[in-house]
Amino acid sequence: MTKATSFTYDARGNIVSRSKVINNKSYVTAFTYDLADNLISITHPSGRVVTYVRDALGRVTSVTTAASGVTTAIASNIAYEPFGPVSSMQLGNGLDVALAYDTDGRLTGIDTGNATLDIQDLALGHDAASRITSLADALDASRSQTFAYDALSRLTDATGAYGDIDYAWDAGSNRTSRIIDDGLSTRVEASTVAAGSNRFLSVTDGTFTRTLGHDAAGNITSDTRLDGTQFAYGYDHAGRLSSITRDGSTDVTYLHDLTGLRVAKFSTVPGLPGAHYIHGPGGELIAEANTAGTVTSETIWLGDMPLALITDADTAAPRVHWIHSDHLGTPQKLTDDTGTVVWDAVTTPFGELASLTGNLTQNFRLPGQYADIETGLYQNWWRDYDPALGRYVQADPIGLAGGANLYGYANANPLSFVDREGLTSMEYDLENGTLTVDPENSTDSPYQVPATSGKGSCMGNASCASYSNTGPIPPGNYQLNANDLSNPSFLGDLMRNILGDWGDWRIKINPLLGTDPFGRSGFFLHGGSLLGSAGCIDIGGGILGNDITNRVLNDIQSDPDRVVPFVVKSNDY
């Protein structure tokens, strides 16, 4: 099995093509940009072109795709609220989408349909702590949901089409029990947790027990399911799930690239084909190919929102299906070009499928997750997620920087928070000069902020990372702690900026184990009036800050555990 990736760049440092070789099959993806360096088109390895039209503010207003001489409108007339998020759009199959928000900027409604069709009509209720307490479905009352929480905002009760589910948690936010009443019977699950490690040892459901074994790094290596099926999980040198053995037979192997993305699945299971995976600039899955190198399905995105799934991509008549997601971005329904629902799923709060209708294969689950039928696990970029357990199979690769529980998902509140990468972090791209902020609050989409690090010819140049006072911050894993924020008064801002270009506020960036700072220290995230820095990351905004720096500040302060994993990436590392 082989893998290799190469890039070409334009004069401004934007990636214009990426060539990825997976097991001797080559896939080339091309990108174009406007003069403000906003992405305006992606050419998939199949030759399909996805085009984004943007307004004067750089916001996408329409999305089209073209293949084999046929152009299809995916979304048009995309409008936005003054504070940022999408408020409405028209889909290419004639359906209109309207999103409603309250005065606090919280999503309160999703309405999809037209004069003759109703696809979605959802209303979200919130409590004083902005926790989602209800999700009412005006089209089908049986699909309406209610939620309750404990004092730590962990989900304790959920009702919906899946029945009534009660959750109990220990002090470490490990789920100790789950009681499921589907109206016909009641199941009681009890979990045994290893003292001091948060590792699940077993889950008992009546007379059946699921047992779990771990390696020294805390990753699950053996999993005997409630039905007696025995799984063994193998890992590569980076701790990524690399093989699945079922009842003594190695059935499936996986391959990952250096960015942690899974790029291939190889299978010996009858009826389970292998696949190659091709990703977009943000790690989103844009195409799947068979192991012969032929693209079979493609996905079109608007930021982190999946808009459309294209199936039969390897035929003369590919089919476009529009994706209709809930408030999290989890697909609920898919419609065809006539607006007819062809895929319909009901999921529990932690992502288990409660019901599914339709013959279409659609593997997206909770944001950032891809369902693997061979294990029932959901691949989640850096880790693999078990929806039955509501937690990850692997310990968090960034350690305690991601929180005290190395396996927990979304702070035990999957209605309000998401984890698209199996991590929750900010990411600074040295070459592209962008800081991507992925807030833990699910109603806030990821966004990018222009950012600089280093001075002169060393600005954004990873080869200068060892140079004190001129080189950029070195690539690697870091963390922010909201308690380290320094945000002085107006006079304090003026005084501090006399001594240096610090902007309105600053927060220390702490390197984690495994990151080589080359003997350097004193890294900060801050604003300022000048491009570049002596190694800090500067996001502009002048002395007193602006809307952008205020938004970043608010997201740091609003982080539930006040610890924000921070990744500095470079194409040269």
> How much of the chain, in percent, has pLDDT values that exceed 90?
61
The CA distance from 397 to 235, in Å, is 13
Average pLDDT over residues 150-157: 93
Domain that holds residue 523: 426-569
On average, the pLDDT of the chain sits at: 90
CATH number at residue 552: 2.40.440
Task: Label the pairing between strands 524-528 and 537-541.
Answer: parallel
Rg (CA), the chain: 24
Residue 485's pLDDT band (boundaries 50, 70, 90)?
confident
Q: Give the confidence band of 488 by pLDDT, cuts at 50, 70, 90.
A: confident
pLDDT of residue 497: 66
Q: Evaluate whether residue 479 is within a structural domain.
A: yes
Domain count, the chain: 1
Residue 258 lies in a domain: no
For 42-89, the pLDDT digits (tens) are 999 999 999 999 999 889 999 999 999 999 999 999 999 887 789 999
Structure-model confidence comparison of residues 341 and 570, the more confident one: 341
Q: Which range (13-17, 141-145, 209-213, 497-501) has the least confidence? A: 497-501
In 3D, which of 483, 485, 473 has the Cα closest to residue 511? 473
| Secondary structure element (H or E) that encloses residue 115, with its range | none
pLDDT at 76: 98
Check whether 292 has a pLDDT greater than 80.
yes
329 close to 368: Cβ distance less than 8 angstroms: no
Q: Are 33 and 40 in contact (CB under 8 A)?
A: yes
Flag whether pLDDT at 432 surpasses 90: no
Question: Is 335 a member of any domain?
Answer: no
Most distant CA pair in the chain, distance: 71
Q: So what's the pLDDT on residue 492? A: 65
Q: What is the 3-state secondary structure (H, E, C) of 377-439?
A: CEEECCEEEECCCCEECCCCCCHHHHCCCCCECHHHCCCCECCCCCCCCEEEECCCCEEEECC
pLDDT at 514: 57
Q: What integer pLDDT is reported at residue 135 of this predicted model?
A: 98
Tell me if residue 364 falls in helix, strand or coil.
strand
Residue 50 domain flag: no
Per DSSP, 154 falls in state: -
Collapsed DSSP state (helix, strand, coil) of residue 551: helix
The size of the chain, in residues, is: 573
Whether the per-residue pLDDT at 572 is higher than 60: the answer is no
Would you tell me how many other CB atoms lie within 10 Å of the CB of residue 304?
Answer: 17
Contact present, 124 and 102 (Cβ < 8 Å): no
In a domain, 477, yes or no: yes
What pLDDT does 303 receive? 84
Least confident of 143-147, 178-182, 188-192, 379-383: 379-383
Residues 6+ apart with CB under 8 A from 151: none
Query: pLDDT (tens digit, 9 = 90+) per residue, 332-380?
Result: 999 999 999 999 999 999 999 999 999 899 999 998 999 999 999 999 9
Q: What are phi and psi of 484, to 5 degrees?
A: -90, 0
| Structural domain contains residue 317 | no
* 126 or 424: which leads in pLDDT: 126
Q: Could you tell me if residue 548 is inside a domain?
A: yes
Q: Is residue 443 very low, low, confident or very high in pLDDT (cuts 50, 70, 90)?
A: low
pLDDT confidence band for 399 (50 / 70 / 90): low
- In a domain, residue 177? The reply is no
Q: pLDDT at position 348, please?
A: 98
